[in-house]
Amino acid sequence: MIQTEKSFDDKEKINIVSEAIKSWADERCEKIDSFVDQNYSFSGAWRINKKAFGRDMLRAPANVVWSIPFLVIKGLGYSAGKIGGKPGERIRNKIAKLFAQRYHFFGSQRLP
C-alpha cells in the first residue's frame, strides 16, 4: 500500500509556521531575565571582558607612543600634498596604511 503525505492548505501552513515562531519567541522571552542577570551585573561584565581588559591595558601605552610618529608623518604628508608634493602624499598614505595594519590605534579593530 502506498502512503501519501498529507497536504496542507495555505491557512494550515500559515498556522503551523505562526505557532512555531510564537513558541520560539516565548522560549527566548523566558531566557531574557537570566541572561540579563548573568551578563549585565558587575561579575558578568567582568567575566566577559577580563581577557580584553588585560590586553587593552598593555596596548594603550604602545598606542600613545606610536601615535606621535604617526601624526607627524600624516601631518608632513598632508602639508606636502597641499604644496603640490605628490610623492610626499603617496609616502604618507603608504606609511599610514602600514601603521593601521600593524598597530591598534584608538579603539579601532586591528587589520589582518
Q: In angstroms, rounded to a whole number, what is the distance separating the alpha carbons of residues 46 and 30?
A: 24
Instruction: Find all residues with CB under 8 Å of 14, minimum gap 6, and list them.
Output: none
Q: How confident is the model at residue 19, as a pLDDT?
A: 95
Q: In angstroms, rounded to a whole number, what is the distance separating the alpha carbons of residues 48 and 53?
A: 10
Q: How confident is the model at residue 8, as a pLDDT?
A: 82
Question: Whose CA is closest to 110, among 59, 67, 76?
Answer: 59
Q: How confident is the model at residue 106, as a pLDDT?
A: 47
Q: In angstroms, rounded to a whole number, what is the distance separating the alpha carbons of residues 94 and 101?
A: 11
Question: To which H or E segment does residue 26 belong?
Answer: helix 10-39
Q: How confident is the model at residue 61, as a pLDDT?
A: 77
Q: In angstroms, rounded to a whole number, what is the distance separating the alpha carbons of residues 7 and 13?
A: 10
Per-residue pLDDT of the chain (112 residues; tens, 9 = 90+): 566 677 888 899 999 999 999 999 999 999 999 888 888 888 888 887 777 777 677 777 777 777 787 788 777 777 777 777 666 667 666 766 766 655 544 444 444 4
Q: How confident is the model at residue 112, as a pLDDT?
A: 40
